[in-house]
Structure 1
Amino acid sequence: MSRLNVLSPDDVPDGTKRILDNVGAQLGFVPNMFATLASNPTVLEAVTTLQSTLGRVLDAKTRHTIALAVSQANGCDYCLAIHTYVSSELGGMSSDDIDLARAGSSIDPKRAAVARFAQQVVASRGQVSDADLAAVRGAGYTDPQILAIVTVAVQVLLTNFINNVNQTDINIPAVNSAGTPG
């Protein structure tokens, strides 16, 4: 059961309703995380603006891979469920690639390097080694792209922390042990 209060739909301010409507239009439903964030319109706007802005860095499968790898590293069941859903239903990722991303890998060698690097960023709290940087560079990532990888990882950490604190009720298909909706 979620531990933070959620506003009733009648109590959500108009500007916040528009944000929730946009999220619902994109995903086909409003995930409970966004309904929870609606109780603080500034935080909701910050999270959705950051997500929208970061939608312009890296390709979608790479961003999904980072989200899955980071959410697994943080043990965020809610984020694993939503990122599995989005990666599968909207991102075109196979269940095998979703499973691999959660494990810090990928069927694509370049994305595998990103998944490992993102999990290392989390595990080391950003104190990655020279070897970690060399590995992601060796996979073909430039320094500006590495900045994007770290920023996407931190954005995912933000929502992981919010959902872990809240123990947000999962209102999307749960993630089973195979990493697929079910």
Structure 2
Amino acid sequence: MSRLDVPAAEDIPAGSRQILEGVGAQLGFVPEMFKVIASNPAVLEVVTSLPGALSRVLDARTRHSIALSVSEANGCDYCLAMHTYVSSEFGGMSDEDIALGRAGSSVDPKRAAAAGFAHRLVDSRGRVTDEDLAGVRAAGYTDPQILAIIAVAVQALLTNFINNVNQTGIDIPAAQAAEPAKVRNAGL
């Protein structure tokens, strides 16, 4: 049950309607999270525009791996379900890679470094060590790309916090409990 108000269709602010239509067209439905956020067009715009901006710096599977890692670290069931669904249905990620992403890793060594770094960001509240930075750089990430990893992690944190505060009901296939994934190529 939503703890924040979900506006009735007729009460959705005009600034949110077009954004919700775009989300619905992209995903085939409008997830509950977006319906909640629709009460504030500025927040909805931030949440929906960040992925496009960040796609110019990091590929989709890397962004998905980061979002999975961050959502697992924050215990956001809604975001885990959403990112699992999107990673599988639109990102072409395997079940193994999704499980590894949740564990802060990946089947791809470079992506594993990004997901592991994102996990360290959350665990350390942004106070990563010199070794953490050296590890992500050694995997081939430049400082501008490290800034993008941080931005993707913060984007995931934003939606994690919204959904954890709201206790948003899961209206997409629920993520299964993370099975112990063999963490390989963590890089960190």
What TM-score comes out, normalization by structure 1 length?
0.95
1:17 Cα offset (Å):
1.1
Identity of aligned residues (%): 70
Where structure 1 has 5 or more consecutive residues not aligned to the other structure, the ranges are none
Contact 2:57 2:148 in 1 (8 A): yes
Distance in 2 of aligned mates of 1:15 and 1:137? 40
Q: CA deviation digits over 1:78-121, x for unaligned, max 9?
A: 00000000000000000000000001111111111111100000
Residue aligning to 1:50: 50
Contact 2:66 2:101 in 1 (8 A): yes
Q: CA deviation digits over 1:129-167, x for unaligned, max 9?
A: 000001101111111111110111011101110110001
SS of aligned partner of 2:135: helix
SS of aligned partner of 2:107: coil
Distance in 2 of aligned mates of 1:23 and 1:141? 31
Where structure 2 has 5 or more consecutive residues not aligned to the other structure, the ranges are 180-188
Worse overlay, 1-10 or 84-93 = 1-10
Distance in 2 of aligned mates of 1:57 and 1:82? 22
1:11 Cα offset (Å):
1.2
Distance in 1 of aligned mates of 2:77 and 2:90? 19
Contact 2:113 2:135 in 1 (8 A): yes
Q: Tell me the amino acid that sits aligned with residue 104 of structure 1.
A: G
Distance in 1 of aligned mates of 2:6 and 2:52? 23
1:48 Cα offset (Å):
1.4
Residue aligning to 2:154: 154
1:74 Cα offset (Å):
0.4
Q: Tell me the amino acid that sits aligned with residue 161 of structure 2.
A: F
1:72 Cα offset (Å):
0.3
Residue aligning to 2:63: 63
Distance in 2 of aligned mates of 1:7 and 1:51? 24
Q: Tell me the amino acid that sits aligned with residue 107 of structure 2.
A: I
Distance in 1 of aligned mates of 2:123 and 2:170? 25
Residue aligning to 1:12: 12
1:178 Cα offset (Å):
4.8
Distance in 1 of aligned mates of 2:177 and 2:75? 13
RMSD: 1.1
Q: Tell me the amino acid that sits aligned with residue 139 of structure 1.
A: A
Residue aligning to 1:32: 32
